[in-house]
Amino acid sequence: MYEHNQPVVVEELELDDPKENEVLVRTAASGVCHSDLSVVTGTIYYDAAVALGHEGAGVIEHVGRNVTGFQPGDTVILSFVSYCGNCRMCQMERVCLCQTYDVPRGFLLDGTYRLHNSSGDGILQMARIATMSEYMVVPEQNLVKIDPHYSLEKAALVGCGVTTGVGAVLNTAKVEPGSTVAVIGTGGVGLNAIQGAVLAQAERIIAVDIAEKKLNFAKNFGATDVVNAAETDPVEAVRELTDGLGVDYAFEVIGNPKTIVQAYDMVRPAGSAVIVGIAHHASEFSIPAQRFVSSEKRLIGSFYGSCQPRVDMPKLLNLYTEGKLKLDELISRHYRLEQINEAFADMEAGENARGVIVF
């Protein structure tokens, strides 16, 4: 991505060898997630130029000095957070909330580039990985080793969408059996929140989207009711479906202040609104302060499904093996890397559950 809000460019880059504690990975597949598009639009801000992609899987080609636990030939999912291992959040096993995460953005951990273009300019890597590249040099800690028998295009989706969506329900909200749940935005991540709600044995799962095609996907993933927010007020519709009370849990999986407030409005007193979507970095939302107290509603952020990548990702793949988690059905279309702009256009048009770039 050389310029915000312009088509992205596919070109050959120079890639340095892995340094200490870094690994060279040959990418097998990369999901196309809305967060990638959000980098292009500046919603998630990176300086240009940046190599995109944060949902991927591949095979290790080469390891740098002092890499322990990985060797060439290992199959891995890429996690999109790096962590220090020492801070209070890391000590609490909340590595995705590491206090050192996200500064500086897009450089490797030593603050330098591994990618360079033909003019010699450094290219940042989204989330220090850049899964929309044939090869990546990444920190060892961003790797999750998986059993080699898994299809890597399916495993790639676990790198963001599946873990983020399922984790929001099971880890962040800890939805109880019998609960009523609404999911606003049933794209690649939201469909996984629906799957999470199925796994949690929620009784009602209400899918809210503005695209009829997405609502059909939602039914296939376990939604018991659907609401087309382009046609009706979703807050009223959800209230009607819950005898006027509101749902126990609402998940916002778009990243829009308006739908965040809708999520809050559609939960019952003492219910939880869980915000998964990543809104523009400068956007804000507001809720009535007095009512916040008197309704005892909870408003919770959920980042990366509150996951521990090396614990949760293999577990999710195991659920897939047991037939309890749908991954095949998530992939609507395969793309070649050269088709990335088409993949983004399809995402904006709401064509796919998930699109996947295969290398």
Q: Which of 48, 84, 299, 319 forms a contact with Zn ion (CB under 5 A)? A: 84
DSSP letter at 325 equals S
Q: Which residue is nearest to ligand APR (CB)?
A: 187
Q: Under the criterion CB under 6 A, does residue 33 sit at the interface with ligand APR?
A: yes
User: Which C-beta is closer to ligand APR: that of 36 or that of 74?
Assistant: 36
Q: Which of residues 241-300 bind Zn ion (CB under 5 A)?
A: none
Say if residues 345 and 30 touch (Cβ distance below 8 Å): no
Concatenating the DSSP letter of every residue in 217-248 gives HHHHTT-SEEEETTTS-HHHHHHHHTTTS-EE
Lay out the site mask for Zn ion across 97-126 (x = CB under 5 A, - = otherwise). -x----------------------------
For the chain, where are the alpha helices, taking DSSP H only? 34-41, 88-91, 152-157, 163-167, 190-199, 212-220, 234-241, 257-265, 289-295, 309-321, 340-348
Q: Under the criterion CB under 6 A, does residue 18 sit at the interface with ligand APR?
A: no
| Nearby residues of 51 by Cβ (< 8 Å), 6 or more positions away | 1, 13, 115, 123, 124, 125, 126, 130, 132, 133
Q: Under the criterion CB under 6 A, does residue 356 sit at the interface with ligand APR?
A: no
Amino acid found at 343: A
Query: What's the closest the beta carbon of residue 187 comes to ligand APR, in angstroms?
Result: 2
Burial class (CB in 10 A: 0-12, 13-18, 19+), 207: buried
User: Which C-beta is closer to Zn ion: that of 90 or that of 215?
Assistant: 90
101 touches which of Zn ion, ligand APR, none (CB within 5 to 8 A by kind)? none
The span of 21-29, 149-157, 181-189, 283-291 binding ligand APR (CB under 6 A) equals: 181-189
Q: Under the criterion CB under 6 A, does residue 186 sit at the interface with ligand APR?
A: yes
Phi, psi of 345 (to 5 degrees): -65, -40
Q: Under the criterion CB under 6 A, does residue 127 sit at the interface with ligand APR?
A: no
Query: What's the closest the beta carbon of residue 295 comes to ligand APR, in angstroms?
Result: 23
User: Which C-beta is closer to Zn ion: that of 87 or that of 300?
Assistant: 87
Q: Distance (Å, rounded) from C-alpha 179 to C-alpha 160?
A: 25
Say if residues 26 and 63 touch (Cβ distance below 8 Å): no
Q: Distance of CA 90 to CAs 59, 102, 166, 198, 314, Å? A: 27, 14, 22, 30, 20
185 touches which of Zn ion, ligand APR, none (CB within 5 to 8 A by kind)? ligand APR
Lay out the site mask for ligand APR across 238-277 (x = CB under 6 A, - = otherwise). ---------------xxxx--x----------------xx
The span of 80-88, 132-140, 186-194, 332-340 binding ligand APR (CB under 6 A) equals: 186-194
User: Which C-beta is closer to Zn ion: that of 33 or that of 206?
Assistant: 33
Helix (H, G, I), strand (E, B) or coil at 11: coil
Amino acid found at 300: I
Say if residues 75 and 148 touch (Cβ distance below 8 Å): yes
Q: What sign does the CA torsion over 311, 316, 317, 319 have?
A: positive
198 touches which of Zn ion, ligand APR, none (CB within 5 to 8 A by kind)? none
Q: Which of residues 27-46 bind Zn ion (CB under 5 A)?
A: 33, 35
User: Which C-beta is closer to Zn ion: that of 88 or that of 324?
Assistant: 88
For 64-221, where are the alpha helices, taking DSSP H only? 88-91, 152-157, 163-167, 190-199, 212-220
User: Which C-beta is closer to ligand APR: that of 124 or that of 206?
Assistant: 206
Interacting residues toward ligand APR by CB under 6 A: 33-35, 38, 164, 184-190, 208-211, 214, 229, 253-256, 259, 276-278, 347, 350
